[in-house]
Structure 1
Amino acid sequence: MSAGNPTLFSQASAEVVGLHRFFVDWFVAARADTVDFSRFEDVMGEGLTMIAPSGQILDRDAVIDHVRSSRATCDEGFAISIEDIRPGWQTEDSIVVLYVETQLRGGKRSRRQSSAVFTTSSSAPNGVEWRHLHETWLQVPER
């Protein structure tokens, strides 16, 4: 790993946590009307790709459309926690961040290991934008 920019990990970590707070507010029906969707669109970098836990590859438009159409689809019991966040490879303006995302949805728990690539962006809320995201099931949603 390159020494890179020591504050870049702080910015990317704040973005991971902040975006998942956005998801909870956007997905929970009782809070969805209070959320500005542009916060999400503004941090999804051009050329973004996502590999979902199922292995499906999504481009930026598909990710944005999926999140937009999932507005207000959860009850108050929906929760996301971010754990074991740590830096991976980085340069002066790019970083890979690894973390575990745990969701509670409809009383059922799931966990996924994620790795995300961020690049600096002066216009993004936390100074970074998402360029690539790869999620792998650690615990598939309980049935």
Structure 2
Amino acid sequence: MKGGTPHGASADHTRREVEAEVVRHHQVIERWLSGSAGKEEFDRFAEAHAVEFTLTTADGATLDRARVLKEVEGLHGSAPGLRIAIQQVRLVASEGPLLAVAYQEWQPAATRQSTVLLRRRGTALLWLHLHETWLRPSP
């Protein structure tokens, strides 16, 4: 590794791993908001967020883990048929157990550019911080 980013086969594996995690995470959100996910799936989603998780929303508010999870939990079934597409996933940096990942989240009414800081814990990736920026705001 040079300059905090992996190279070669290790880099390819790490890139695939973080892309799979970002996509998986948003598939759970998609199923939860559309009403097709059960409580056990939400519980696994919650466990993917570190205790110290924070979200800086596209509108500039900073929310802690408890507030994010409470708000998401309350939105179960609020968006039937919702589709979320994740594009342009890019591993920005990797240093020890920390990985910085940028990606775009496309929904019918809004598009966000996001950067997430993940922490490796065994074979799992924990979400530490997520920062969203509007590319195309919701109406």
Provide TM-score, normalisation by structure 1: 0.85
Structure with greater proportional helix content: 2
Residue type at the aligned position of 1:2: G
**Runs of at least 5 residues in structure 1 that lack an aligned partner in the other structure:** none
Q: SS of 2:41's equivalent?
A: coil
Show CA shifts across 1:103-126 (max 9, x none). 12xxxx21110000000012xxx6
Using the aligned pairs only, state the percent identity.
26
**Map 1:34-45 → 2, pairs under 5 A:** 36-45=41-50
**Aligned 8 A contact 1:11 1:127 in 2:** no
- Give the equivalent residue in structure 2 for 1:133: 130
- Give the equivalent residue in structure 2 for 1:23: 29
**Aligned 8 A contact 2:28 2:37 in 1:** no
Q: SS of 1:54's equivalent?
A: coil
- Tell me how far apart the structure 1 counterparts of residues 5 and 60 of structure 2 sit (CA, whole Å): 32
- Tell me how far apart the structure 2 counterparts of residues 35 and 99 of structure 1 sit (CA, whole Å): 27
**Aligned 8 A contact 1:8 1:93 in 2:** no
Question: Would you say 1:84 and 2:66 are equivalent positions?
Answer: no
**Runs of at least 5 residues in structure 2 that lack an aligned partner in the other structure:** none
Which of structures 1 and 2 has the larger relative contact order (alpha carbons within 8 angstroms, sep 6+)?
A: 1
- Tell me how far apart the structure 1 counterparts of residues 40 and 27 of structure 2 sit (CA, whole Å): 11
Residue type at the aligned position of 2:134: W
Provide TM-score, normalisation by structure 2: 0.87
Q: Could you tell me how far 1:11 is from its partner in structure 2?
A: 2.2
Q: SS of 1:55's equivalent?
A: coil
Root-mean-square deviation (Å): 1.7
Residue type at the aligned position of 1:37: F
**Map 1:1-143 → 2, pairs under 5 A:** 1-4=3-6, 6=11, 7-29=13-35, 31-33=36-38, 36-76=41-81, 78-104=82-108, 109-122=109-122, 127-141=124-138, 143=139
**Aligned 8 A contact 2:5 2:92 in 1:** no
**Aligned 8 A contact 1:119 1:128 in 2:** yes
Number of residue-to-residue matches in the alignment: 133
